[in-house]
């Protein structure tokens, strides 16, 4: 199983420089960054910086989108990073959330995401490519033939289908094993229907990890189901309500949320928190003692997860990486 970390946008450069080395030394092989240039910072200077302090770690945005920059600029950026790091760049791709909405723009369509995937990979490979807004076709004279791995972030059935059809992997923002199996299976089905060899298709579960008492862990990570929960619930409610794979805790969560929807007017500032029970936080994240982490990761691994990517958004980064290096990664990978 691969292990990754995701840096939040506000990590200081001085901390990032040593945390990325700590992670590499501790057995992590991926370091992802939020790509949201207004709320956080443009992440590629930090990626280029961290590459200079590591030898084998791979990097990438988690996730970027087709609206953030001109496509040839995006391809040149990632191709340049590939060249100067010895091929250590991947890309996580979504339709565009905070980074486009904050500018008053709309997310990309799934068709645009698919086309972006194919054309950016082709440009970096060195092919001549025409794309939407650019009057002339583009070809990089300096291309080295690098094959950029693109992971597609998805929940909904059409995005999962696209991930299976054109992606090198899927990014699933959740730690719940049954949902991970149910979501990723849709990618495999789509890929196989399209005639692809899916044996190397990668499945990333991206979620917070935290050590300590369950109470402390839930307090530190409840922001995560608050952020992704409604989105997941919408999907499950719409497409998977009668699916026997959907865990019962999530079913109750959906029921509670539904009730809540009828009476939301009189709520406090963060009304959603009422419906995010400790069980839901626990199922969405990886929490507790090192042994708890190991047990949950083994279940996730059985559900097909090939990479666990820790959202390092909770403080305590040094300790989380250290615990994974000392206890969790050796137990999982032997």
Point out which span in 9-17, 165-173, 277-285, 294-302 binds a second copy (CB under 8 A). 9-17
The reply to whether 194 sits near a second copy by the rule CB under 8 A is no
The end-to-end CA distance of the chain, in Å, is: 10
Looking at the Cβ atoms of 15 and 238, the one nearer to a second copy is 15
Residues 6+ apart with CB under 8 A from 269: none
The reply to whether 238 sits near a second copy by the rule CB under 8 A is no
Exactly one of 56, 136, 199, 269 binds a second copy (CB under 8 A); which one? 136
The reply to whether 125 sits near a second copy by the rule CB under 8 A is no
* C-alpha 53, offset from chain centre: 23
CA angle 72/73/74 to nearest 5° reads 90
Cβ distance 329 to 23 under 8 Å?
no
Strand partners, 310: 5, 207
Cβ 37 to a second copy shortest distance, Å: 4
Point out which span in 11-19, 158-166, 265-273, 281-289 binds a second copy (CB under 8 A). 11-19
Cβ 149 to a second copy shortest distance, Å: 18
Can you tell me the distance from the alpha carbon of 79 to that of 304, in angstroms, rounded to the nearest whole number?
Answer: 30
Point out which span in 72-80, 176-184, 287-295, 296-304 binds a second copy (CB under 8 A). 72-80
Cβ 153 to a second copy shortest distance, Å: 20
Cβ distance 119 to 131 under 8 Å?
yes
Point out which span in 151-159, 166-174, 223-231, 317-325 binds a second copy (CB under 8 A). 317-325
Point out which span in 49-57, 156-164, 175-183, 258-266 binds a second copy (CB under 8 A). 49-57
Show the DSSP H helices in the chain as ranges.
13-25, 44-51, 71-85, 98-101, 110-125, 157-166, 177-193, 214-221, 223-239, 248-262, 278-284, 290-302, 317-323, 329-333
Looking at the Cβ atoms of 103 and 198, the one nearer to a second copy is 103
Cβ distance 201 to 169 under 8 Å?
yes
Cβ 196 to a second copy shortest distance, Å: 30
Cβ atoms < 10 Å from Cβ of 172: 27
User: Which positions lie near a second copy, rule CB under 8 A?
Assistant: 9-10, 12-15, 17-19, 21-22, 24-25, 37-49, 51-53, 68-70, 72-73, 76-77, 79-81, 83-84, 102-105, 134-136, 138-142, 315-319, 321-322, 326
């Amino acid at each position: 199983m691969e292990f990754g970390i995701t840096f939040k946008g506000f990590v200081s450069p001085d901390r990032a420089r040593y945390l990325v080395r700590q992670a590499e030394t501790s057995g992590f092989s991926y370091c992802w960054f939020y790509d949201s240039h207004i709320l956080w910072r443009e992440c590629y200077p930090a990626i280029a910086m961290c590459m200079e302090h590591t030898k084998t770690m791979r990097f990438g945005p988690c996730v970027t989108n087709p609206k953030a920059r001109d496509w040839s600029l995006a391809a040149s950026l990632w191709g340049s990073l590939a060249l100067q790091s010895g091929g250590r760049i991947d890309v996580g791709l979504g339709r565009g959330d905070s980074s486009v909405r904050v500018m008053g723009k709309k997310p990309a369509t799934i068709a645009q995401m698919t086309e972006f995937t194919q054309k950016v990979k082709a440009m970096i490979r060195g092919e001549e490519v025409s794309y939407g807004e650019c009057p002339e076709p583009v070809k990089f004279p300096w291309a080295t033939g690098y094959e950029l791995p693109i992971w597609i972030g998805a929940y909904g059935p059409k995005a999962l289908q696209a991930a299976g059809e054109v992606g090198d992997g899927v990014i699933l923002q959740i730690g719940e094993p049954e949902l991970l199996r149910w979501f990723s299976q849709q990618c495999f089905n789509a890929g196989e229907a399209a005639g692809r060899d899916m044996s190397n298709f990668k499945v990333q579960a991206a979620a917070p990890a935290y050590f300590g008492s369950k109470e402390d862990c839930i307090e530190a990570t409840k922001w995560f189901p608050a952020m992704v929960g409604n989105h997941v619930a919408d999907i499950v409610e719409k497409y998977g309500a009668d699916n026997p794979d959907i865990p019962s805790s999530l079913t109750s969560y959906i029921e509670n949320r539904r009730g809540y929807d009828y009476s939301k007017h009189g709520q406090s500032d963060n009304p959603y928190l009422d419906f995010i029970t400790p069980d839901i936080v626990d199922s969405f994240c990886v929490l507790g003692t090192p042994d708890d982490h190991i047990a949950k990761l083994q279940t996730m691994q059985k559900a097909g997860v090939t990479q666990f990517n820790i959202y390092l958004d909770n403080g305590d980064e040094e300790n989380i990486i250290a615990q994974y290096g000392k206890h969790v990664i050796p137990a999982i990978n032997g």
